Amino acid sequence: MSGPAKKSFPLRLDPALYAALERVAAGDFRSVNAQVEVLLREALARRGIKLAPAEPPRRGRPPKEPAKESADD
């Protein structure tokens, strides 16, 4: 895994707020966690706080290692 690991922490939410987050996340094809991140980034941007762009998740197989040249060449 490259890049910094994500920070995790417990978060207590009102059940109605969590249910609303689930609905919005499902509509955007995201997990609740990803939706919370998006909403927090949008809220910070509205306040003029700039963040580095989020690193997109890696999907699929890792790239193949380049073929090693033999000493005979």
The structure tokens listed for 58 are 């890696």
Compute and round to an integer the Cα radius of gyration of the chain: 19
pLDDT in tens, 56-70: 777 788 788 877 766
- Identify residue 68 by its one-letter amino acid code: K
C-alpha 70, offset from chain centre: 41
- The domains of the chain are located at 15-46
Spatial distance between the Cα atoms of 1 and 58, rounded to a whole number of angstroms: 9
pLDDT band of 72, cuts 50, 70, 90: low
